[in-house]
Amino acid sequence: MSMTIDTIGHDLHYNVWLVAKLFFDENDSVHITSKATYGDDTVTAETQLVCEGASLSETYSFPCPSSADAHTKKRLTSAVCGMSLYRAAQKLRPRRLPWGVMTGIRPAKPIRQMLTAGQPEEEILPYMHALYGASEQKLRLALEVAKNELPLIAQNGKDDIGLYIGIPFCPTRCLYCSFVSTDLRRTKQYVPEYLRLLVREIEHSARLTKAAGKRIQSIYIGGGTPTSITAQELEVLLAAVARCFDTGSLAEYCVEAGRPDTITPEKLSVLKQYGVTRISINPQTMHARTLELIGRSHTPDDIDNAFTLARRAGFDSINADLIAGLPGETEDDFAWTLKAIDAYGPENITVHTMSIKRGSALHERLGDYDLTTPDTVYNMLDLSQSFMAQTGRAPYYIYRQKNMLGNLENVGYSLPGHESLYNVNIMEEVQSILALGCGGSSKAVDRTGERIERVYNFKGPIEYITRFDEILAKKDEFFSLLDG
């Protein structure tokens, strides 16, 4: 894309670019001038858009008290500049954009903050619609999520933190994956050393947790696919966690058993023995041809077997991840997957929107696949929303990613009492998270929830192993950032 952006009266170049990207791609030649002015408790944006020989201008104003702090002023200016560009671009390239110019990844967060500040519900949606141009349907979804989050967040104690442990290995690599997961067929030899060092990191972090007077409220072991290592290796990991932290008083202990073909009675028994309360079995789709196309090494029968084994082992809180918009799938295919998964009675279902991530094999070879259109994905998500309501599952966390088809969302639905506290806390950034192993980042959230400092982990196991001393130093850094 040949895009040039001039800003006048503000420096939110990146925010303007994010909105422009909703309309234009690398084949377009676009010039945008975005100007912001302030006065009479309002902020006004004027956008001039030049593209394809057309020159379009739009102006948009919104209340912005002159007493507003710098953060609020920036947020409002960004939205208003986005809205004036959105209006101009819609004239040239009409697009269905249910989230309007909301480009952030946490759409429920501002709504929850307004609810917490005592703003009446009936004022929140019109305000958000006017500020971001988001549809009533999406704002209602975000409002429902925000309301469901509040009692969960209220459970957080002032010294509670969440613990994440990353296992960066998977049996194969999915077509759409850009995570730092490594294909075990090539990286098996790193597993023992990775685990040996991870146990050292756990021991070090446990000492720091105790010294800081913090309590681990929830544990999430993710990746990757933690259950892709052997039952014995899993036991080494879980035994270290149990030895170092007080797992008896956890509110939640979740392990991603994402690939159904990695689940065995022995591994489930290890998880049970060490007090794991929740697992995630991720079918993504119930269609064998799609599973093969996207490079997952399991079949629908493996999914069936995994649910049977997990129930037999006594797991009564299971999440199932699905993806709307997998290549080649129709609305009927998706509807069938929803029903087939529901038959296993997972207490949580998380519906993701297909995202074309840079670094994925799909992104490299886009032309080889029959991608779902944005309209079809909208319909799939609508269908999932009503299906979940009919089956008693309420939306309780929501997030968005870059490059999602239709610029839509991922939503976690749950039966009452089975919501994942960890998911809510990390998504809403209301609790500090200590992240061990590969991938992810530790987040130190201050008491006001306004200041967040991140300490990034290394991405892959080789870097983790060869630079392990830095890992321990990163933990020291994280604890120095926590509130006393």
The residues of the shown chain that bind ligand SF4, judged by CB under 6 A, are: 170, 173-174, 177, 179, 181, 223-225, 258-259
Q: Which two tokens stand for residue 196?
A: 């040996």
Strand partners, 30: 3, 51
Residue with smaller CB distance to ligand SF4, 258 or 461: 258
Residue with smaller CB distance to ligand SF4, 175 or 445: 175
Burial of 232 by CB count in 10 Å (0-12 exposed, 13-18 middle, 19+ buried)?
A: exposed
Q: Rounded to whole angstroms, what are the CA distances from 300 to 158, 173, 285, 305, 313? A: 44, 18, 8, 9, 20
Residue with smaller CB distance to ligand SF4, 20 or 191: 191
The least CB distance from residue 280 to ligand SF4, in Å, is 11
The least CB distance from residue 175 to ligand SF4, in Å, is 9
The least CB distance from residue 282 to ligand SF4, in Å, is 7
Three-state DSSP class for residue 286: coil
Cα separation, 65 vs 87, in Å, equals 24
The least CB distance from residue 462 to ligand SF4, in Å, is 17
The least CB distance from residue 256 to ligand SF4, in Å, is 9
The least CB distance from residue 224 to ligand SF4, in Å, is 5
**What is the four-CA torsion angle of 179, 183, 184, 186, rounded to 10 degrees?**
-130
Cα separation, 15 vs 86, in Å, equals 12
Q: Rounded to whole angstroms, what are the CA distances from 135 to 5, 164, 220? A: 27, 34, 33
Residue with smaller CB distance to ligand SF4, 174 or 216: 174
Residue type at position 130:
A
The least CB distance from residue 397 to ligand SF4, in Å, is 18
Residue with smaller CB distance to ligand SF4, 82 or 223: 223
The least CB distance from residue 254 to ligand SF4, in Å, is 15
Cα separation, 276 vs 267, in Å, equals 11
**What is the four-CA torsion angle of 427, 25, 10, 69, rounded to 10 degrees?**
-10
Residue with smaller CB distance to ligand SF4, 298 or 474: 298
Residue with smaller CB distance to ligand SF4, 275 or 327: 327
The least CB distance from residue 225 to ligand SF4, in Å, is 5
CB under 8 A, 24+ apart: contacts of 439-443: 439/166, 439/168, 439/179, 439/180, 439/223, 439/224, 440/164, 440/166, 440/222, 442/474, 442/475, 442/478
Decide the pairing of beta strands 215-223 and 160-167: parallel
Token look-up 């030649």 returns 29
Decide the pairing of beta strands 2-8 and 29-39: parallel
Q: Are 335 and 376 in contact (CB under 8 A)?
A: no
Element (H, E) at 186: helix 184-187
Residue with smaller CB distance to ligand SF4, 181 or 317: 181
Residue with smaller CB distance to ligand SF4, 16 or 170: 170
Cα separation, 203 vs 197, in Å, equals 10
Residue with smaller CB distance to ligand SF4, 179 or 396: 179
The least CB distance from residue 169 to ligand SF4, in Å, is 8
- Other Cβ atoms less than 10 A from the Cβ of 420: the count is 26
The least CB distance from residue 294 to ligand SF4, in Å, is 8
Residue with smaller CB distance to ligand SF4, 114 or 323: 323
Residue with smaller CB distance to ligand SF4, 177 or 276: 177
Its sign, for the CA torsion 199, 201, 204, 207, is negative
